[in-house]
Amino acid sequence: MARSSSMIREKEMNMTDERRITLLKLTLRIVGVIFIVGIYSLMIVWPSGWKWHTGESHYPAMILGVYATLGVFLLIASRNPGAHLSLIWFTVWSSVVHAGIMALQSLMHADQMGHLWGDVLALFLVAAVLAFLTPRSAADPIIIEGVRQVATSTASR
C-alpha cells in the first residue's frame, strides 16, 4: 500500500513537472516573439509607456537590437530549456535589474511615469513568470533531460 501511494505521488509530481516544462517552453516562445517584434510595436503604439527618448536618439535602435537578439536565443532555449538554464536565469535577473533602474528613473522624472505601467511592469512580470517556471535543483527532471539531450546530440556528431 505504501509503495502504491509513493508511486501515485511520484506520478503526480512528474505530471506537475511536465506541465511546468510545457508552460516554460510556451512562455519562452511568447517572450521571445515579444522581444523580437513586440517591443518595437509597443514603442510605436504606446510611447509614454515604452519609449524612453523622444526626437532623434540612438537608444531605441540599441535597446531593440539587444532585446531582439535575446528574443532569438529565448526561442532557441524553448526547444530544450534544461540545456539553457543560464540564459533563462540571465533573462530573469537582467529583467529585474533593468526594470528596477527604469522604475527609479520613472519616479525621479514625472514625465516618465507611464513606464511604471508599461515596460517596467512588463519586465517584472517576465522575470516573475520565468523564475516561477524555471527549475532550481540540479536533480530537477528538466535539467536531467536537458543534459541527456545535449550529451546525445554531442555524441552523435
Instruction: State pLDDT tens for residues 89-120.
Output: 999 999 999 899 888 888 887 777 777 777 88
Residue reference for cell 529565448: 74
| Strand, helix or coil for residue 79 | coil
Q: Give 65-77 pLDDT, tens digit per residue.
A: 999 999 999 999 9
48 within 8 A of 118, measured Cβ to Cβ:
yes
Contacts of 73 (CB under 8 A, 6+ apart): 32, 84, 87
Whole-number pLDDT of residue 91: 97
DSSP-derived 3-state class of residue 58:
coil
Q: Is the pLDDT of residue 61 over 90?
A: no
Residue 157 domain-assigned (yes or no): no
Distance (Å, rounded) from C-alpha 94 to C-alpha 56?
A: 26
User: What total number of domains does the chain contain?
Assistant: 1
Is residue 6 included in any domain, yes or no? no
For residue 111, being part of any structural domain is answered with yes
Asked if the structure places residue 133 within a domain, the reply is yes
Query: What is the predicted pLDDT for the residue at 88?
Result: 96
Does 121 map to a domain?
Answer: yes
Rounded-to-5 percentages of helix, strand, coil across the chain: 85, 0, 15
Domain presence at residue 71: yes
Q: ∠ CA(10), CA(14), CA(20), 5° rounding?
A: 145
| Residue 9 belongs to a domain | no
Predicted pLDDT at 40: 87
pTM of structure:
0.75
Instruction: Please indicate, yes or no, if residue 130 is contained in any of the structural domains.
Output: yes
Task: Give CA–CA dist 39/17, Å, rounded.
Answer: 31
Q: What's the pLDDT at 41? A: 87
Q: Which domain holds residue 41?
A: 18-51+60-150
CA–CA–CA angle 103, 104, 105 (5° rounding):
90
